[in-house]
Amino acid sequence: MNTPILEMKNIIKEFPGVKALNNVSFQVKEGEIHCLVGENGAGKSTLMKVLSGVYPHGQYTGEIIFGGNVQNFKGISDSEKTGIAIIYQELALIPEMTVYENIFLGHEIKNGAIIDWNETIKRAAEMLKKVRLNVNLAAKVKELGVGKQQLVEIAKALSKDVKLLILDEPTAALNEDDSENLLNLLRDLKNHGVTCVLISHKLKEVIEIADSVTVLRDGQTICTLETQKGEVSETALIKYMVGREIDNIYPKRENRQFGEVVLNIENWSAYDPALGRSILKDINFHVKKGEIVGFAGLMGSGRTELALSIFGNPDGYNITGEIFIMGNKKHFRRPQDAINAGVAYVTEDRKGDGLILIQDVKQNITIANLKEIANRGVVNDNTEVNVANEYKDSLNIKTPSIEQKISNLSGGNQQKVSLAKWLFVKPNLLILDEPTRGIDVGAKFEIYTIMTRLVEQGMSIIMISSELPEVLGMSDRVYVVSGGKIAGELAIKDATQEKIMQLATNY
């Protein structure tokens, strides 16, 4: 257990203008679960890309020793051959193929040139047993939930005789049950001799599962902590990650006086013709001026669908029910109508349907409200620059220039640009869908501070979140959604993690 299976020594990786990794050393012992933590942009993913050969030998300096030998990987296939497998946040499965086809994709079991499907299916079944996944082998991957897809991906890695399994934020998209299930599986694999490196932002699960933790910050190794020696704790990790101690990341709110009802939803139901089933059932809720209303629930409980159905229904659900904005009945046919009525929606998936990655910061900030900076349809460049700079300063968006492409910004700063875009439409009601997903502690604190400032100025916020501490820390009132219904409403003084989970899992 004490021999290192992997040693990365003095790794330096430079991109034009940035030293992404500055003399990083990283050591993983055989048979342990080693967590890699750090703020976004700390260099975790880059380090793993160096290890897996995405950045081939020669594009970095330093030494990789794996299984006792110095390795010079020229590509991913080299690292896979030596027994290293990486599972990325974005899963690399083919949705239209079956489970067993996916598991052996790229290393098919062949008889000469012909695929031996019987053997493939047999071996695939064994792999699924190992990851304790009970699904139809012939099901298409797209029919499985994210949690199960993740397990298929792990099964695929195991089928390649993996010695070192690297998981990049595997639980980011999973609900509590699936996360727990995954962590149990990792323990199980550890007992069967598979070494694991886990990149995660969820410090609770890190503490729960890690044998040792390495903290990266600004491209440098800060420290490696051992669980056995009692060095791993949340405060210690946060301290090393951000370089300062954050006592309470939820800012204090002075004034919790709320005004009139801004949004009222009555008897709201929705049917999704694409899925062929009802997704929202008889939902009633309201939001007051200056209030942060939390929407808790499991993944797939219908919270995002609820937000979309209110926000002009771009996915074309069949809806019954009524929306009242400031007491006036409204009918939104498309997002533009909702925006005009003072509603803004910051999406869950900022890269997928939030931002335009190939455009710059400035263009992303103004896109939802170009008429504000245009005169008879002609965009005024000067006004646009002023607007973008204003939001860059007020939201503390860290970018060298407002002409920087969005894809070059870190997750937290991308999220701030999303916020800026929607604040620029001057809404009365801001719907935030997972506002801090995948962003680091420092940026989270900034987002929370901005939210607090906004409600103090009289804005109302709906916050959809799967992170219970965040729901409890930020909300004034909590609705729990389960199976497309409002399972319960909790005043913040009555809300606890246990109560919320109980309602959320109560179908």
Partner 1 sequence: MSFIQNARKLLQQNIREYGMYIALFVIMTIFTITTKGIFISSRNIVNLVNQTGYIAVLAVGMTLVIVIRHIDLSVGFLGGFLGAIAAIAMVQWHLPVYLAIPLTLALGVLAGTITAFLVAQMKIPAFVATLAGWLIYRGAILVVTESTGTIIIPDKTFNAIGNGFIPDIPGIEFLPGVHKLTLIIGVLAIVLLIINEINSRKKKQAYNFEVLPMEMFIIKLVFTSALIGGITWLLAGYQGLSWTAVVVLVVVLIYHFITTQTVLGRHIYAVGGNPEAAELSGINVKKITYIVFGSMGMLSALSGILFASRLQSATTTAGSLWELDAIAAAFIGGVSPAGGIGKVVGSIIGALVMLSLTSGMNLMGIGISYQYMARGAVLAAAVIFDVATRNRAQ
Nearer to partner 1, 86 or 341 (CB): 341
Does residue 388 sit in helix, strand or coil?
helix
CB 253, min distance to partner 1, A: 29
Q: How many whole angstroms separate alpha carbon 178 and alpha carbon 138?
A: 22
**Could you say whether residue 113 binds partner 1 (CB under 8 A)?**
no
**Could you say whether residue 356 binds partner 1 (CB under 8 A)?**
yes
Residue whose structure tokens are 């008879």? 376
Nearer to partner 1, 49 or 477 (CB): 49
Among 4, 251, 321, 335, binds partner 1 (CB under 8 A): 335
CB 407, min distance to partner 1, A: 8
SS (H, E, C) 470-481: HHHHHCCEEEEE
**Could you say whether residue 264 binds partner 1 (CB under 8 A)?**
no
**Could you say whether residue 363 binds partner 1 (CB under 8 A)?**
yes
- Binding positions for partner 1, 295-334, rule CB under 8 A: 311-312, 314, 334
**Could you say whether residue 347 binds partner 1 (CB under 8 A)?**
yes
CB 379, min distance to partner 1, A: 6
| Contact assessment for residue 419 and residue 395, using Cβ atoms and an 8 Å cutoff | yes
In sequence order, which residues have a C-beta less than 8 Å from that of residue 422 and are 6 or more positions away? Answer: 344, 345, 346, 368, 430
**Could you say whether residue 494 binds partner 1 (CB under 8 A)?**
no
Helix 441-456 × helix 234-242 angle, to 10°: 90
CB 354, min distance to partner 1, A: 6
- Binding positions for partner 1, 423-482, rule CB under 8 A: 425
Count of all residues that appear for the chain in the document: 507
**Could you say whether residue 114 binds partner 1 (CB under 8 A)?**
no
Please name which of 343, 323, 338, 368 lies closest in space to residue 462, comparing C-alpha atoms.
343
**Could you say whether residue 336 binds partner 1 (CB under 8 A)?**
yes
Please name which of 28, 53, 48, 35 lies closest in space to residue 186, comparing C-alpha atoms.
35
CB 26, min distance to partner 1, A: 26
**Could you say whether residue 345 binds partner 1 (CB under 8 A)?**
yes
CB 246, min distance to partner 1, A: 32
What is the per-residue DSSP string for 118-180? HHHHHHHHHHHHHTT----TTSBGGGS-HHHHHHHHHHHHHHTT-SEEEEESTTTT--HHHHH
**Could you say whether residue 401 binds partner 1 (CB under 8 A)?**
yes
Nearer to partner 1, 285 or 311 (CB): 311
The token pair at 396 is 């503390």
CB 399, min distance to partner 1, A: 13
Among 68, 247, 352, 393, binds partner 1 (CB under 8 A): 352
| Contact assessment for residue 228 and residue 253, using Cβ atoms and an 8 Å cutoff | no
| Contact assessment for residue 355 and residue 406, using Cβ atoms and an 8 Å cutoff | yes
**Could you say whether residue 46 binds partner 1 (CB under 8 A)?**
no
In sequence order, which residues have a C-beta less than 8 Å from that of residue 419 and are 6 or more positions away? Answer: 346, 395, 435, 447, 450
In sequence order, which residues have a C-beta less than 8 Å from that of residue 491 and are 6 or more positions away? Answer: 477
Q: Which stretch binds partner 1 (CB under 8 A): 80-88, 91-99, 181-189, 364-372?
A: 364-372
> What is the total count of residues that contact partner 1 (CB under 8 A)?
36
Q: Which stretch binds partner 1 (CB under 8 A): 35-43, 361-369, 443-451, 478-486?
A: 361-369
- Binding positions for partner 1, 412-431, rule CB under 8 A: 421, 425
Among 368, 387, 430, 454, binds partner 1 (CB under 8 A): 368
Among 18, 138, 223, 367, binds partner 1 (CB under 8 A): 367
CB 17, min distance to partner 1, A: 12
Range 209-227 burial, b when 16+ CB lie within 10 A, else e: bbbbbbbbbebbbbebbeb
Nearer to partner 1, 237 or 338 (CB): 338
Among 1, 114, 274, 378, binds partner 1 (CB under 8 A): 378
Q: Which stretch binds partner 1 (CB under 8 A): 100-108, 199-207, 274-282, 372-380?
A: 372-380
**Could you say whether residue 65 binds partner 1 (CB under 8 A)?**
no
Q: How many whole angstroms separate alpha carbon 163 and alpha carbon 84?
A: 6
Enter the DSSP assignment of 96.
T
CB 426, min distance to partner 1, A: 13
Among 118, 248, 382, 457, binds partner 1 (CB under 8 A): 382
Range 142-176 burial, b when 16+ CB lie within 10 A, else e: eebeebbbbbbbbbbbbbbebbbbbbbbbbbbbbb
Does residue 437 sit in helix, strand or coil?
coil
**Could you say whether residue 359 binds partner 1 (CB under 8 A)?**
yes
In sequence order, which residues have a C-beta less than 8 Å from that of residue 239 and are 6 or more positions away? Answer: 245
CB 72, min distance to partner 1, A: 23
Enter the DSSP assignment of 369.
G
CB 314, min distance to partner 1, A: 5
Positions that interact with partner 1 (CB under 8 A): 311-312, 314, 334-336, 338-339, 345, 347, 352-359, 363, 366-368, 370-371, 374, 377-379, 381-382, 385, 389, 401, 403, 421, 425
